[in-house]
């Protein structure tokens, strides 16, 4: 569908234009929106060839046409609304919350972090789960049922490096088994399309490095255990 609006009578953002169209021209036009502040992530869509949040991205102030599409390679529910069910299921699968093996001391009110440890999750926790990065990723296009995609992997990294979390090894084990992190080719389209200017590509690269380090340590432990077992068996013989 094509629509014509008077940009002199409209706000500067793509979402302003969509709301004007819905209110004044086509009430059936369907899209998601909520906060209008780039916080909720619900209005992510393809805006003139780039994935962005419609509420914080300005359309060109000229007479050239703008093209608005739903997020790439996603199942469309209607118009600009895509099905986010699988994306949210993948997010739920990483258990995106603090997990502890030791309980708080009787008088302990919170888990303390150093300033340095707290700084490590900057650039990660700000993700609004809009799916702009994952729907820009060719590896995610090819097999989204297996590869978790940039957004989910970046959030996995966020919990792996959180000094308050005590399930680091279990989370890394899952990275190697279920999340197919090796499918990331480090193309960088995820980072180029993040409307919050985050860097999923860098996070995934560092997560890969942590997994490889964990994998080597695990293999060394296995070898050591086997050697000890062989020594015991030899002594018995």
pLDDT band at 146 (very low <50, low <70, confident <90, very high): confident
Per-residue pLDDT tens digits for 74-114:
999 999 999 999 999 999 999 999 999 998 888 888 999 99
| pLDDT surpasses 90 at 213 | yes
pLDDT of residue 81: 98
Both structure tokens of 100: 């502890």
Q: Looking at residue 106, what is its pLDDT?
A: 87
Location of structure tokens 């916080």: 39
Strand partners, 81: 78
120 or 222: whose pLDDT is higher? 120
pLDDT at residue 182, rounded to an integer: 85
The whole-angstrom separation of Cα 204 and Cα 181 is 8
Model confidence band, residue 165 (pLDDT cutoffs 50, 70, 90) = very high
CB 87 within 8 A of CB 134: yes
Angle at 86 between CA 74 and CA 50, to 5 degrees: 35
pLDDT at 1 over 70: yes
Residue 163 class from Cβ within 10 Å (0-12 exposed, 13-18 middle, 19+ buried)? middle
Greater pLDDT, 45 or 180: 45
Enclosing H/E stretch for 82:
strand 81-82
> What does pTM read for this prediction?
0.88
**β pairing state of 68-69 and 81-82:** unpaired
Mean pLDDT of 43-66: 95
Question: Around 63, how many Cα atoms within 13 Å sit in the side-chain half-sphere?
Answer: 0
Q: Answer whether residue 119 shows pLDDT above 90.
A: yes
Instruction: Between 180 and 174, name the one with better pLDDT.
Output: 174
| pLDDT reported for residue 181 | 87
In the predicted model, is pLDDT for residue 221 greater than 80?
no
Q: Is the pLDDT of residue 180 over 60?
A: yes
State how beta strands 76-78 and 81-82 pair. antiparallel
237 band by pLDDT with thresholds 50, 70 and 90: low
Checking if the pLDDT of 168 tops 80, the result is: yes
Average pLDDT of the residues of the chain? 92
């Amino acid at each position: 569908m094509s629509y014509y609006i008077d940009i002199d009578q409209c706000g500067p953002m793509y979402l302003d234009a969509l709301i004007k169209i819905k209110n004044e021209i086509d009430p059936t036009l369907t899209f998601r929106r909520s906060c209008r502040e780039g916080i909720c992530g619900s209005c992510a869509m393809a805006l003139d060839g780039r994935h962005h949040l419609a509420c914080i991205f300005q359309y060109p102030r000229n007479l050239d046409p703008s093209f608005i599409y739903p997020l790439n390679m996603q199942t469309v529910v209607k118009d600009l609304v895509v099905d986010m069910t699988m994306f949210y299921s993948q997010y739920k699968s990483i258990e995106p919350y603090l997990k502890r093996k030791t309980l708080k001391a009787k008088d302990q009110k919170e888990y303390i972090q150093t300033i340095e440890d707290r700084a490590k999750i900057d650039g990660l926790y700000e993700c609004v789960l809009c799916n702009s990065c994952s729907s820009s990723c060719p590896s995610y296009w090819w097999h989204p049922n297996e590869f978790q995609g940039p957004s989910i992997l970046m959030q996995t990294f966020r919990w792996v490096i959180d000094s308050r979390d005590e399930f680091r090894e279990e989370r890394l084990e899952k990275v190697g088994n279920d999340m197919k992190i090796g499918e990331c080719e480090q193309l960088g389209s995820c980072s180029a399309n993040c409307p919050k200017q985050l860097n999923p590509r860098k996070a995934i690269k560092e997560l890969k490095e942590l997994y490889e380090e964990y994998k080597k340590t695990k293999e060394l432990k296995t070898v050591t255990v086997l050697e000890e077992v062989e020594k015991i068996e030899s002594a018995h013989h």
